[in-house]
């Protein structure tokens, strides 16, 4: 159970992509002092955690209303993750200054869609539907968010140590791992679709 929980947590962590999102988040809070930046980032991480937990417990109800099949959800999740992986690997260079933040960001855009985005919400719904043990999924989300929060709060320090190129390299490695996970999901979703035809 521990191994599978950690693997699910790793997948959530990769989809949340805190390393790749760090430069954007830092640019959104750069107008505030260092202590205030950490408070804002921590608050937004906690809000994004609540959003993730909401989709764990109510995502299946939402899918039931829409009458979405398992293969459609798995295929869609795999495709979304594959597109995210491509974006992480082949990222566009930054154009000068980042977005200007005159007001303190609240929920949007840091908590969602930067941290708890569509890809993560889809992944949580897929795993919560596949796993009979809600505690296991909740534990995986909590473990992932410990990592997400630590990375985001430590992002200013990490960027000073390894620089922007180092951050970009880490994001590419994470994108490659995410690409492998996405292809496995696409294959699984295709197999489920073929099974419905037989």
Q: Where are the domains of the chain?
A: 2-197
pTM score, two decimals? 0.75
Can you list the pairs that 150-158 forms with residues at least 24 positions away whose Cβ atoms lie under 8 Å?
A: 151/18, 151/19, 151/22, 152/18, 152/21, 152/22, 152/25, 152/41, 152/45, 152/115, 153/38, 153/41, 153/42, 153/45, 155/18, 155/19, 155/22, 155/25, 155/26, 155/41, 156/26, 156/34, 156/37, 158/22
9-26 pLDDT per residue, tens: 999 999 999 988 888 888
% residues pLDDT > 70 (the chain):
94
Predicted confidence at residue 101, as pLDDT, reads 43
């Amino acid at each position: 159970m521990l191994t599978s929980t950690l693997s699910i947590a790793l997948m959530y962590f990769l989809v949340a992509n805190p390393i790749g999102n760090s430069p954007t988040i830092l640019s959104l809070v750069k107008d505030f002092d260092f202590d205030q930046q950490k408070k804002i980032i921590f608050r937004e991480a906690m809000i994004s955690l609540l959003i993730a937990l909401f989709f764990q417990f109510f995502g299946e109800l939402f899918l039931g209303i829409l009458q979405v099949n398992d293969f459609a959800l798995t295929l869609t999740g795999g495709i979304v993750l594959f597109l995210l992986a491509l974006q992480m690997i082949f990222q566009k260079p930054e154009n000068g200054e980042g977005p200007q933040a005159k007001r303190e960001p609240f929920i949007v855009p840091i908590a969602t869609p930067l941290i708890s985005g569509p890809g993560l919400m889809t992944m949580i719904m897929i795993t919560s539907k596949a796993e009979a043990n809600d505690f296991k999924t909740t534990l995986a989300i909590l473990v992932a968010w410990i990592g997400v929060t630590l990375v985001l709060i430590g992002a200013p320090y990490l960027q000073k140590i390894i620089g922007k190129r180092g951050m970009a390299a880490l994001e590419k490695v994470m994108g490659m791992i995410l690409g492998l996970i996405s292809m496995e999901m696409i294959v699984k979703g295709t197999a489920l679709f073929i099974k419905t035809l037989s």
